[in-house]
Amino acid sequence: MLLRWLKDRRRRQLRAAPFPEAWQQILLSNVAMSTRLTDAEQDRLCGDIQVLVAEKNWEGCNGVVMTDEIKVTIAAQISLLVLAFEEQFFDNVLSILVYPHSYTTRGAMEAPGGLIVQGESLVIGQAVYRGPVILSWPDVIDGARGPNWGRNVVFHEFAHQLDMLNGRNVDGNPPLETREQFDRWQQVNDAEYARLTHACRLGHPTLLDCYGATNRAEFFAVATECFFQLPHEFAEIHPELYDVLRTFYKQDPGLRVTHQREVTPSGQ
């Protein structure tokens, strides 16, 4: 109880502190979605960024020198993902490791169709259960600054972390509030996963990346990326899936794109 109270007090202090002007410039330069928020959302975002920057262990790997730009850019996207959630700071993620480019991992991988393949793979991000999140900095920037064909490595890996809140079994089913929501989630995701798998097997063009056909966990992460990055296209092509994600995340990014504010960085 005491530790929880101390943590909550420290977070309140961090969120109440003035947001550094240099960090605001980083948001304007690197995180396009941050300009589409209401004033209240902006305040929440800035406070959450300050908590994440202070609480996580940030490590640069393979020559990356950790800077405020890297921390703020990543923390902003984590905060955007769960902006409408109650106090979600991913306490199980103690460290965020940042690489200068994609990196190689070795082990068993599940390919589309359920085939298990042993070998090396080139990855741009990785989420470890009760462990670190690993990210490629160039891919972080690509996703943060624009639609990027619906791809965003921070949203992807932290969607996996949301999935892991239920435990080690990462199955594309994050914690849901009601049985009704769970039933709706299962119905829509089953149909959309089958639709994507079928289209990818036949080589048909898809809005969702075919990596989402690997398994249900990757489908949830890929759908999350596209939901935030290309909301209008997503809502038009996958309206039911858009609706269940809108209910889960308690956000409607399509409205933010429509009502984007004109914000010009100082000095321009």
Total number of domains constituting the chain: 1
222 is in which domain, residue-wise? 2-258
**265 within some domain:** no
**What percentage of residues in the chain have a pLDDT greater than 70?**
90
Decide if 119 is inside a domain: yes
| The pLDDT of residue 256 | 85
59 falls within a domain: yes
Q: Share the mean pLDDT of the chain.
A: 91
pLDDT tens digit string along 192-249? 999 999 999 999 999 999 999 999 999 999 999 999 999 999 999 999 999 999 999 9
99, 134 in Cβ contact below 8 A?
A: yes
Q: What's the pLDDT band for 120 if we cut at 50, 70, 90?
A: low
- Asked whether residue 268 is assigned to any structural domain, the reply reads no
Closest of 61, 62, 60, 58 to residue 49, by C-alpha: 58
- In-domain check, residue 61: yes
For residue 79, give the CATH number of its domain: 3.40.390.10
- 129 Cβ partners below 8 Å, 6+ apart? 92, 164, 168, 170
Is the residue at 266 inside a domain? no
Write down the pLDDT at residue 121: 73
Give a yes or no: residue 145 inside a domain.
yes
pLDDT tens string 5-25: 899 999 999 999 999 999 999
Model confidence pLDDT, tens digit, residues 252-267: 999 986 544 444 433 3
